[in-house]
Amino acid sequence: MRTPRARIYTAALLLTVVGSLAACSSSDNDNGTSSATSASDSTTQSAEKTSGNHVDLASFDLQAHRGGRGENTEESKQSFETAIDEGARTLEMDIVLTKDGVPAVWHDPKIEDEKCSDTHPATPDDPQFPYVGKTVHDLTWDQISTLKCDKKLADFPDQKVAPDNHILKLNDVFDLVKEKGADVRYNIETKIEADKREVSATPEEFVSTIMGVVDQYGVRDKVTIQSFDWRSLKLLKEQQPDVALAALYDETTWKKDSPWLADYTYEKYDGDALKAIQALGAQITSPGYAQPYDTKVGDKDFHPVADRDYVEKAHGMNIKVLPWTVNDKETIKYFIDNAGVDGLITDYPKRGMEVLKELS
């Protein structure tokens, strides 16, 4: 999934948003998020004194975010292969459609220079060259294929670079899993920019293209489609109701006047995200794990969204809980052993497996 929009806000605005959300949560703990006040008081204590329940390694859904970008170049063949070898149950990935409708395994609406570099034009005197900085949906697959995306990300100092890495197609991921004979699931995000719809394909194009490849490989029963843009989830529910769905959200999408929520608006469900997700028909709720994002167990301002109350409420609606993106080891432990989530998405699948083995 995407990098939280909260990171690009000013500190003052972030504090204002978090403060208002905390106030709302404190007044009504049935709104799909946890009570910020109670979380602040109890989280550290809960992490120190966990439930002691044994975790079933076989059923817990540990997902490698972008293949595990904390460990390897994101969404590279190397990252997916390593995640499989480390025991991740699900490969989490993003899909952006190229101009000619190829499902590229890529997170960003544009080709970012912090990740990729140009090599040569796809055709002589190509007026779109260089391609770095261009919108993916404005480029063809032949143009995308020329890019070399093997730069180390500053936010992930332990990341191992995949040498000479090129952007994969969705077909490539299915092929490598087949070659390894691995039994894994796929969590595929439709990377639709609902607030800038001109830079991405339509929900109809995403659904048709992705599910076409899924069915080509016969892996429908191993696939979950996730999205912040709930239009694509609604479309799948209407047209292909057997496909598993995960509703992504955070405080920047689950809000009043949001362009992300299709017909399942904040206003219609009185701020209760879980009720909206139940009405949508998604089997999984996938919230940003905490407010503010990037906080962790032990921080005074750590307010987990998917706390035990949230999980119990979701389970009462027959909805599984899969927060994103949890990287700190003690925070991973909190969500597994105290909150009781069904799975989680992490940039560090090896770290996640270490926690699971400790708790099993």
Look at residue 3 in the predicted model and tell me its pLDDT: 63
Say whether the peptide bond before residue 292 is cis (omega within 30 degrees of 0).
yes
What gap in Å lies between CA 143 and CA 141, rounded to an integer? 5
First to last CA, the chain: 28
Which residues lie closer than 8 Å to 299 by C-beta, 6 or more apart?
A: none
Q: Is the pTM of this model over 0.95?
A: no
DSSP for 120-167 reads: --SSTT-TT-S-TTSBGGGS-HHHHTT-B--PPPTT-TTPBP-TT--P
Helical packing angle, 170-180 and 203-217, nearest 10°: 20
How large is the average pLDDT for residues 160-185? 99
**Among 233, 217, 234, 214, which Cα is nearest to 225's?**
233
Which residues lie closer than 8 Å to 129 by C-beta, 6 or more apart?
A: 118, 121, 122, 143
The answer regarding whether domain 5-106+168-359 maps to CATH 3.40.50.300 reads: no
Give the pLDDT confidence of 238-266 residue by residue, as tens digits.
999 999 999 999 999 999 999 999 999 99
Residue with tokens 């909805």: 319
Which comes out higher in pLDDT, residue 143 or 42?
A: 143
Helical packing angle, 230-239 and 203-217, nearest 10°: 60
Domain ranges in the chain are 5-106+168-359
Identity of the residue numbered 334? Y
Banded model confidence at residue 121, pLDDT cuts 50, 70, 90: very high
Give the pLDDT confidence of 75-107 residue by residue, as tens digits.
999 999 999 999 999 999 999 999 999 999 999
C-alpha pair distances (Å), 241 with each of 157, 235, 276: 42, 9, 17
What gap in Å lies between CA 30 and CA 32, rounded to an integer? 6
Model confidence at 22: pLDDT above 50 = no
Look at residue 55 in the predicted model and tell me its pLDDT: 83
Give the pLDDT confidence of 337-360 residue by residue, as tens digits.
999 999 999 999 999 999 999 999
Model confidence at 32: pLDDT above 90 = no
